[in-house]
Amino acid sequence: MPSIFVTADPQAVPIWFVSVGSLNDVVSRLGAREQIYAKAAGFEGKSGQHLLLPAADGKLAAVLFGIEVADAPVKNAFLPGKLAGILPSGTYRFANAPHDARLAALALALGTYQFGRYRKTRDAGVRLALPQDVDHGEMTRIVEAVTLARDLINTPSNDMGPAELESAAKQVAGQHGAKFRTISGDALATDFPLINAVGMGSQRAPRLVDFTWGNEADPKVTLVGKGVCFDSGGLDIKPDSAMLNMKKDMGGAATALALAHMLMSAKTKIRLRVLIPAVENSVSGTSYRPRDIFRSRKGITVEIGNTDAEGRLILADALTLADEEGPDLIIDFATLTGAARVALGPDVAPFFTDDDALADDFTRTGESESDAVWRLPLWQPYEQMLESKVADTNNVGGSNQGGAITAALFLRKFVGRAKSWLHLDIFAWTPSAKPGRPEGGECQSARALYGLLMKRYGAKA
């Protein structure tokens, strides 16, 4: 996707942000002809309303776009992303300040996204001269990262299996000079039994991607992304309606790669590690079965209560590896439970952590970045739902309630040495288009985490 950001252009068409409270003031700053046109058109400055003002020569003189009043209790900083589907080809600039110029510019850029791998798309030709106080490099790396995640998630599983996901990760690692390795075959079966178990029903072999970047002496931050390239549910097979969108079940891996790209591109002062267990949960004579028992990498025996709860199994072995070096922070991303969607819907990403300070910082950063997250509790009494009569734990709770919490409690069993751990149960999909967020694959929580980690660790000199 071509960048929409350009250097300052004196010929750029001005975009005026207007509210019902500022309408008269803004319109008074236009030319006499444009003032008459705006009045005749009945433009009221309501939130999301727009008006294209023609010049005398038939070209575009200016754009009016409605936003919330300044003292509105809730403001949608991504609302200007709606302009992506409104503006004709040309170069534009912000003539006055919206609620947040940086997020407005970002939303406009992200709103122009198109997935063009399988059909021809047309560049709308919209370009934006960034305000002087907005960092061009920063904006570019964020747009690149979100585009990467969206492209990976939108790619169907026939072209995005474990091998292809490994290649995508290798490309990101190579771009930034990271050290890359893949564990597969007998080594995977021996050292990562849960990852191997989930993937052994597919002809497309499972693997664990592992790459590191940065100075070993810097704070260690490890990202773990669920890479289930397609989830049939296994022998506990999903109904067709639930299986339809399972190409996005590697959305956790895509999000981890997007965040990794941002952090490495910004030269964040951390030693970054990325772990992606990449599998396909398929149905065959070699699929793992309900009531099977496997000994995890950590040594915890796991009874399989449901083969469709596969994501937590592959994450368990990957989290164990991540935890063995006692990093400062482990963050895992997974499209893990339907319960999370029932609780918070598709737009808000629930997260779990025992670190109160981390939770508070993350929530605040999510708000400031318009990247919504919400903390859910690691409610200890629910751990009894995971009890097994024949193994150390079951992979699912004995109830259809509290599923997101019991999944998080299962994962917590495999983290002990890390100073902090953060688990995100993301949806990775926008069901219907919103400003700055076209329908399809979505990169949830990565921008908020990027902002948080940059505040905590800064960039290398």
Over residues 318-354, the pLDDT tens digits come to 999 999 999 999 999 999 999 999 999 999 999 999 9
312 is catalytic: yes
Q: Which CATH superfamily is domain 5-134 in?
A: Leucine Aminopeptidase, subunit E, domain 1 (3.40.220.10)
Domain coordinates of the chain in residue numbers? 5-134, 141-457
Residue 385 CB partners (closer than 8 Å, separation 6+): 397, 398, 399, 402, 406
Active-site pick, 238, 267, 341, 456 = 238
Amino acid type, 166: E
CA atoms of 428 and 436, how far apart (whole Å): 15
CA atoms of 349 and 319, how far apart (whole Å): 20
Return the SS3 of 157: coil
Asked if 393 contacts 382 with a C-beta cutoff of 8 angstroms, the reply is no
Which run of H or E residues covers position 39? helix 32-40
Q: What's the mean pLDDT in 348-368?
A: 98
Torsion of CA 227, 327, 442, 74, to 10 degrees: 150
Return the SS3 of 342: helix
pLDDT, the chain, mean: 97
Instruction: State pLDDT tens for residues 190-217.
Output: 999 999 999 999 999 999 999 999 999 9
CA atoms of 337 and 445, how far apart (whole Å): 16
Which run of H or E residues covers position 62? strand 60-66
Q: How confident is the model at residue 460 (pLDDT cuts 50, 70, 90)?
A: confident
Structure tokens at 106: 């970002």
pLDDT > 90: percent of the chain: 97
Structure tokens at 162: 């474990």
Amino acid type, 293: I
CA atoms of 217 and 24, how far apart (whole Å): 58
Torsion of CA 308, 282, 440, 227, to 10 degrees: 80
Structure tokens at 244: 């339809």
DSSP characters over 12-28: PEEEEEE-TTTHHHHHH
Statement: residue 1 has pLDDT above 80? no
Statement: residue 380 has pLDDT above 80? yes
CA atoms of 192 and 416, how far apart (whole Å): 18
238 is catalytic: yes
Q: How confident is the model at residue 72 (pLDDT cuts 50, 70, 90)?
A: very high
Statement: residue 2 has pLDDT above 80? no
* pLDDT score, position 9: 86
* pLDDT score, position 461: 74
141-457: CATH, from 1.10.287.70, 3.30.2350.10, 3.20.20.70, 3.40.630.10: 3.40.630.10
Structure tokens at 274: 């990325």
Only one residue has tokens 């000079």, namely 177
- Across 335-426, where does the E strand assignment appear? 349-352, 373-375, 393-394, 421-425
Active-site pick, 141, 207, 312, 412 = 312
Return the SS3 of 118: coil
* pLDDT score, position 245: 97
Largest CA-CA distance found in the chain, in angstroms, rounded: 82
Statement: residue 25 has pLDDT above 80? yes
- Which range among 4-8, 45-49, 150-154, 374-378 shows the weakest confidence by mean pLDDT? 4-8
Return the SS3 of 173: helix
Distances (CA, A) of 427 to 84, 315, 351, 356, 393: 24, 16, 12, 24, 26
Same fold, 5-134 and 141-457: no
* pLDDT score, position 7: 83
